[in-house]
Amino acid sequence: MKARIAEVFHSIQGEGRYAGVPQVFVRFAGCNLNCSWCDTPQARDVCAGSFNEFDPIELWVEVEKIWRGAHSVSLTGGEPLLQGEFLREFLRILKVYKVRTYLETNGTLPRELEKIVNDIDIVSMDLKLPSSTGCHGYWDEHVDFLRVAWGRELFLKTVISHTTSMEDIVRAVEMICKGDPSMPLFLQPNYFDIESGIMERCQELQEYCLNYLTDVRIVPQMHKFMGIR
């Protein structure tokens, strides 16, 4: 069994709760979405052929070479859960070596998460607001995904752009409140809108969210400001 891997590298996590920690990133090729602001198109489109194939042991060898000093392995993409059967085998290897696992996911494949959730330490779920992504809504999938992820360390991130609607924010807050209002929510200003007032918009939305949620933070994509991957 082999997986399509776009790249494996050591860098600094630039988003969400663990911004600033060193990680080994395993970027899986292929995604089931096509978000308008996607910053990893080379990982999204497997037809472009920009990937290598690894079996689980081969991939662990690549990770181990650059593991020194890392906090965890970030399983990112693309969408890692599209290659769920491979992930199951790879996670077993990481567990043997007591390596912490950090899943970056778009939160639309709850059944695939169900197969591996017990071997994941941290779940970073992107909340895909249709007014931000340009895609249709995935509200039902997100609700099911969160139900599966309860019990793991879990936080949500959502990109805020000038197209983000208050209607989507209200619906997102309602969804989170039905689960756990203390779940951290990270508002991530679209990097391409930074110079055009998006931070002010994020502050407005944060103020609204904090009427209902206890932990709402504005955190830009720090790796882009640092000029790293």
Q: What is the pLDDT of residues 97-134, one digit of tens each?
A: 999 999 999 999 999 999 999 999 999 999 999 998 88
Span 199-214, pLDDT tens digits: 999 999 999 999 999 9
Ranges of each domain in the chain: 3-226
Check: CB of residue 87 under 8 Å from CB of residue 60: no
* 39 vs 29: CA distance, rounded Å: 13
**How many beta carbons lie within 10 A of that of residue 121, not counting itself?**
16
pTM: 0.92
- Residue 29 pLDDT greater than 90, yes or no: yes
CATH T-level fold of 3-226 = TIM Barrel (3.20.20)
Model confidence at 135, in pLDDT bands (50, 70, 90)?
Answer: confident
- Residue 149 pLDDT greater than 80, yes or no: yes
Span 45-68, pLDDT tens digits: 555 558 899 999 999 999 999 999
Whether omega before 78 lies within 30 degrees of 0, making that bond cis, reads yes
